[in-house]
Structure 1
């Protein structure tokens, strides 16, 4: 193999997913020369759009609705509206359609949401208002806490000042309570618990797992506070804005440049090598927006890492595989219950007990016979997704984590998904004018970071969060290799399009590079890593 040397950069960012692009932008803001190396032919990772079902129908290929992205202090601080990003909302935020035909609906008007829940049980409307008031008290420091490096000192102190000790202890309990328990404590009827549990199952957690409550509470309350907006013109607009901002600051992106090795010397990251033998020097840092196992085991190699870290990686757990289907429909979805027709996102196929059954099948490694569906009515949220009077629809559901699936297994589950939709919306199938199926292998092919169709960068379970993410350690972007930083959703705080892992990696790289304190920073981090991995 012939090895060719090329000009380097202050920082080489591996991967042009949204986290890699956020990190690159923040370092470019600091005056660094930035090179991003992307393995595929397009930027964005899981934040991309294309016409894949029928001409004139735009689909978001992976992620779609963005409450965390809209509320994220990280993305807000980048002023992406100056680079063409605008947001829009569906009339209703979210609807959970129960098997008996009733629906609980979240609207950005709290009185409208309360009225929906009041129909399930007297007093549940006021109980929603009370839960939302609790959220509003902690929302700003909570978002600051989950989008900054661990430990979250500033956000944590703000929460403690606002809540005092008793309130902080109650909040700590809410962070670990299962969503079934949380829904039972907050509401008397079925609507509120279904909304919370459906939101929690955007992750790979079951309603009975510790920590599922906070995910349900966070997404539901963000829906009430800011909605679940979408970018006008598709999720690609987030990526386009990040790329335009980076290029305006002199950053470069090379496509089709798959990194196969992080080059190290004397315990420090010196650059990277791409497939084909080209080497790229990193004068200040290497940041990796790729899953933790790929970075440590494939790009760095076990020989350059503490043996205990390599042992811990054997216990790293992926979140479940995902099956996503996009449809081009000749008319809006003909829901039996018209209360869900104006919702951007619809949850259907299960009540709370059904969600437990569905999760139990996944835990046993079985394909659920009755899939729980997350459905996106994109034309309801943004009419530019399809011709007037039509609908660009998607749905995804979870599968047990596997790297390999037979085509007939995927086709059979797509059939089950369409049966669920047909039951809730008779005549749905007759409206289909185009269909695009993305099984786990297809998702990984389009974005190599979606290993086995796992979209969260690793499980959301409590044992792999905070200082335990991706493995027991510091919960920070720093790695045992000096000037190498993990910038993907495998790092704290995990999955979601909010940019926090990328921002945390950029902050760590800047701290390590400071003239007066960088060596002290490296010494402290190194000592901590030696204590953890000895």
Structure 2
């Protein structure tokens, strides 16, 4: 009998398996796809030699993850590659605000009226970032806070809606960039704790940047899997699990799946019927003949570029997709330029690029033209550099990854109380009604992103039980 079986080989499932194996438990991972990775994969989606990340590409939470930083993943090929700027946010006048490693450079890009307000917002937390990240990403009660005073101060600042926090800024440049940071979790700006979302992304950039993984996001998953195997764990791919009886006997079963899937497979009935799935995205991967011809200089150096341009535009796009059930006419775009930091992703002189906008869950339309019109607005001539494109909307995301119900890449709506209290109101969110079954996906705290902390936290709950029953 194994100590633990993990279902799903995404970053959270692999991290949970590694954490258990490091503590001497016997572990096996079962993955339905033919490779490990989940939302952290890399494939040639367009043309030979162009390596694209079908889902996640930029990793501000990955490089800052307390779980990843505690593991020797660099020995297994994981290398973070940084563009000169983490992020830029262009405007119609040909200028751009930036999110730089430097707080001073970032503040200066907002203009004199908001520079001081921004410095006052982030500086008190930046000096305590590593401790704050451990406390924030380990909640709920998987560990006592290491710095309860800073965590409480962060909560007072971040738990109100982002719209409240943005009142500190007087001009549009700072408001727009901060609104774009919140939109990375597909949450309307007036939701609970959305201020914390924007703050976390800003602090992560100042602390360690917004890198890509050299060679592609797949290298994160491959490094975790290789380390697991060296620890004695096993990884089985092409193995779809439909019920617990499909798996070998184990003392614990840990699911890197949606709540709906674990309920179905483990026979948990309707315990997660209240769990809400949210909006989706429409994503286009591009093979380009040259770099994106941005009008502003800053986006030409930025790994990630947000295209809004204004906070009101971003809010309207999010509301359309999340609350009104329609695709926005002018989508807010998150775009990534991986080859600025990692030229190995494309043939010499060529580039990869991706962009996505938000759409309702299950939407089956085509947003390609709207996406490209938005890019052309800030990079005239962009379409002339497109060699090939690969598009994916909600049906394609749902087909590629069973965790993305209705195409929801966050594995559950990151809005309202569900942003923090997922998958249900409980002091033990990783446990389920079945005493041997646990959940470790992005449907558990701290939520979406390639950071492995949901798996890390779930593994703590599992090994505590296993030690009690030894």
Q: Same fold (TM over 0.5)?
A: yes
Residues 108-153 of structure 1: CA deviation (Å, up to 9, x unaligned) = 13332232122xxx24223322222122144233211233252265
Q: Which residue of 2 aligns with 1:154?
A: 144
Aligned equivalent of 1:483, options 436, 450, 457: 436
Aligned equivalent of 1:124, options 105, 114, 117: 114
Number of corresponding residues: 469
Q: Which residue of 2 aligns with 1:190?
A: 172
Aligned equivalent of 1:421, options 372, 375, 397: 375
SS at 1:347 equivalent: strand
Aligned equivalent of 2:413, options 459, 463, 478: 459
Q: Provide the TM-score with structure 2 as the length reference.
A: 0.95
Structure 2 residues not aligned, in runs of 5+? none
Matched, 1:289 2:256: yes
Q: Provide the TM-score with structure 1 as the length reference.
A: 0.84
Residues 158-189 of structure 1: CA deviation (Å, up to 9, x unaligned) = 122x58xxxx3x5333222222221221x222
Cα distance in 1 for partners of 2:119, 2:84 equals: 20
Q: Which residue of 1 aligns with 2:106?
A: 113
SS at 2:249 equivalent: strand
What displacement does 1:302 show?
Answer: 4.3
Aligned equivalent of 1:45, options 38, 51, 62: 38
Q: Which residue of 1 aligns with 2:266?
A: 300
Cα distance in 2 for partners of 1:192, 1:475 equals: 38
Matched, 1:430 2:430: no
Q: Which residue of 1 aligns with 2:401?
A: 447
Q: Which residue of 2 aligns with 1:174?
A: 157
Q: Which residue of 2 aligns with 1:136?
A: 126
Cα distance in 1 for partners of 2:116, 2:425 equals: 41
Q: Which residue of 2 aligns with 1:233?
A: 215
Cα distance in 2 for partners of 1:339, 1:475 equals: 45
CA RMSD of aligned residues (A): 1.8
Residues 33-78 of structure 1: CA deviation (Å, up to 9, x unaligned) = 2111111111010101111111221111110111111111111111
Matched, 1:396 2:356: yes
What displacement does 1:483 show?
Answer: 1.8
SS at 1:115 equivalent: helix
Q: Which residue of 2 aligns with 1:57?
A: 50
SS at 1:260 equivalent: coil
Equivalent residue runs for 1:182-221 within 5 Å:
182-185=165-168, 187-221=169-203
Matched, 1:25 2:25: no
Cα distance in 1 for partners of 2:212, 2:53 equals: 10
Flag the 1:318–1:299 CA change in 2: closer, same or farther, 3 A. same
Q: Do 1:51 and 1:58's aligned partners in 2 also have CA atoms closer than 8 Å?
A: yes
Matched, 1:88 2:101: no
Cα distance in 1 for partners of 2:161, 2:139 equals: 25
Matched, 1:280 2:248: yes
SS at 1:50 equivalent: coil
Q: Which residue of 2 aligns with 1:329?
A: 288
What displacement does 1:213 show?
Answer: 1.1
Cα distance in 1 for partners of 2:256, 2:315 equals: 33
Cα distance in 1 for partners of 2:117, 2:143 equals: 31
Matched, 1:242 2:224: yes
Larger radius of gyration: 1
